[in-house]
Amino acid sequence: MWITPAVVLLLLAACTKETPAPGKYENGVWIINEGGFNGNNASVSFYDPETGKVTGEVFLTENLRPLGDVLQSMCIHRGKGYLVVNNSRKVEVVDIHTFRSLHTITGVDYPRYFLGVDETKGYLTDGNYQGRVYVVDLETCEITGQIPTGSGPEAMVKAGNKVFVANSGGWGYDSTLTVIDAVTDEVLHTVKVGDQPVDLALDADGYVWVLCQGKVVWNQNFSAIVAETPSRLVRVDPAIYEVTGWEIGTTGDYFNPKRMALYAPGDIMYFEEAGGVYALDLSAPEIPSDPLITLQPYGLEVDPDNGEIYVLTPGGGDQPGSLQRYLPNGEEVQSVSVGYFPNGAVFPEGS
């Protein structure tokens, strides 16, 4: 009988499954590498800010199979990582300490973002035109219900017992947030915020912040733009749904920002727009005219512990992207190579 190296690795993996090396993936940041569309090369890298070391292909290493195609997002909830693999139409659930796969949630159509609601359930957005939020039983990893939303639901944020869903429009148009009762799973309200809301964050005062991409509407034969609106940052009072907004972009530049990151302790919002990453002081919101970082991000995050800014940029075409880490004042700390099309970073739970 031939025993190939792969079989040996499998046997070793099986043997060590019960006793994972403690601390293997502790005190670090997970980098979400989306991968090229139809490339099946999505991955997760583990970045240690102390040493600057990057461990690539963590899912592949720990599970001996590729993660899949288009890792849209990742969420850590109660010791588990939820990896939303959009074009593989699945969510991989892993033990966040070992990164071993625990479950695969399937039967989802166009998964985008996961949110752990409480200890028993989570929400998963389905970004189709006729959008919805799947209710996921965290114990069985089964889909137990669906909640209708607007078009192209993307990011979610929980404010008290309400979950706000950004209806980005997906392939079409929308301008609303759907508000869901996190206890009953019923839609409480729909808030009109601005065209193509795509990202959400909760500040220290409990306000929900929304990044609206703005929209470009072409005529039927795409020969002329018939309507266009600029991108906006919007603040929503989750109690009374009062909306306050600021224009952050201009029309005519084809630029529709997708990322923002909030450093709640410092009351600073970082957002992308044409030209790079801009910083907004939420205590006295005034849209800056110059970027803090002149780098166009594909992913943008803030370390919730120290306010360091993580800018993720893709490599050209089919080569690895980079993580650039900056101090809050915009001074670069480090630049490291990660996976293909990095679109975000996830910090340890509770940090």
Partner 1 sequence: MYNRIFVLAAWLLAALYEPGYAGVPDTVDLREVQLVHRREVLFHSGQQALTIDREMIFRRAQATLDELLSAHLPSGILSYGPAGSLSTIRLRGAGSNHTQVNWNGIPLGSLTTGTPDLSLIPAFAADRLSLVPGASGSLAGSGTFGGAVYLSNEPDWSSPAGVRMKTETGSFGDRRLQAAFRVGNKRVQWDTRLIHHRAANDFPYHDPYLPGNPEVTQSHSSFRSLGVVQHVFLRLPRHHDLNIGVWYQDREKEIPAIMGSYAPGTAVQRDSSLRAYIQWRKRYTRSVWSAHAATVNDYMRYDDAGSGEDGEGLHSFYHTRQTFAGTEYRRYFSDRLMADAGVRYELRYADVPNYGRIIRETHIHTYGGLQWKAGPVTTHFTLRKPFYTGYSMPWLVSLASRWNILSARWWTGIQAGNRYRLPSLNEWYWTPGGDPSLKPETGWNLEWMNDAYIIGFEHASTSVLIRTSLYSSYINNWIQWVPGEGYWSPVNYRNVWSRGLDMSAFFEHNTGSSAIKGKVAYQFSRATNRKVYDSQDILDKQLPYIPVHSGNISLSWETVRTGIRLEQQWNGKRFTTADNHPAYALDAWMRTDVGASYRIRLTGWTVELSGRIRNLFHAEYQLVRSYALPGRSFHMSVSLEWDHGRKSHH
Residues that bind partner 1 (CB under 8 A): 38-41, 43, 57, 60, 63, 65-66, 68-69, 87-90, 101, 104, 106-110, 128-130, 169-173, 218, 221-224, 254-257, 274, 296, 298, 314-320, 337, 340-341
Q: What tokens were used for 275?
A: 């030209």
Give 126's contacts (C-beta < 8 A, 6+ positions apart): 108, 109, 110, 111, 112, 132, 133, 134, 146, 153
Q: Which of 85, 106, 104, 101 is nearest to 37 (CA)?
A: 85
Helix (H) or strand (E) holding 61: helix 58-63
Query: CB-wise, 23 or 107, nearer to partner 1?
Result: 107
What sign results for the dihedral spanned by CA atoms 91, 61, 340, 255?
positive
Question: For residues 34, 69, 185 and 163, what is the CA-based torsion angle, rounded to 10 degrees?
Answer: 10
Q: Report the C-alpha gap between 330 and 120 in whole angstroms.
A: 40
Coil, strand or helix at 141:
coil
Coil, strand or helix at 14:
helix
Q: Which letter does DSSP use for residue 86 in this model?
A: G
Query: CB-wise, 152 or 238, nearer to partner 1?
Result: 152
Query: CB-wise, 222 or 331, nearer to partner 1?
Result: 222
Find the shortest distance in angstroms from Cβ 184 to partner 1.
Answer: 27
Query: CB-wise, 184 or 319, nearer to partner 1?
Result: 319
Find the shortest distance in angstroms from Cβ 298 to partner 1.
Answer: 7
Coil, strand or helix at 197:
strand
Phi, psi of 60 (to 5 degrees): -60, -45
Query: CB-wise, 110 or 310, nearer to partner 1?
Result: 110
Query: CB-wise, 21 or 65, nearer to partner 1?
Result: 65
